[in-house]
Amino acid sequence: MRLVALILLAVALALPANPSLAEVTGRPRIIDGDTIEIGRQRIRLYHVPGGQYYKRTKITSSKGERWFCSEAEAQAAGWRRSKR
């Protein structure tokens, strides 16, 4: 679990610059496998077919997770593509 948390942190820090994330400060906290919280900013990751974690992805609606029909839809909802 600790390795997964470190990997997710590295992914979050490697995300391209984004005005909404540029001022995010604070200690990162892993919420679950695809959610990182830094300060009051929550970063959600989505996975695509062929990605390293796609086959392991489980959607839990009660945690606010959901399926998207396209990457454009996921991005419009504020989610970011996983680098892996």
Q: What is the model's pLDDT at position 10?
A: 56
Q: Which residue has the higher pLDDT, 1 or 82?
A: 82
| Unique residue bearing structure tokens 């997770």 | 65
User: What was the pLDDT predicted at 64?
Assistant: 82
pLDDT > 60? residue 18: no
Average pLDDT on 15-29 reads 65
Q: What is the DSSP string of 20-80?
A: HHHT--S-EEEEETTEEEETTEEEEEE--TTSTTGGG----GGGT----SSHHHHHHTT-E
pLDDT value of position 14: 54
Enumerate the β-bridge partners of residue 41. Answer: 38
The reply to whether the predicted model has a pTM over 0.85 is no
Domain assignments of the chain as residue spans, ordered by start: 2-81
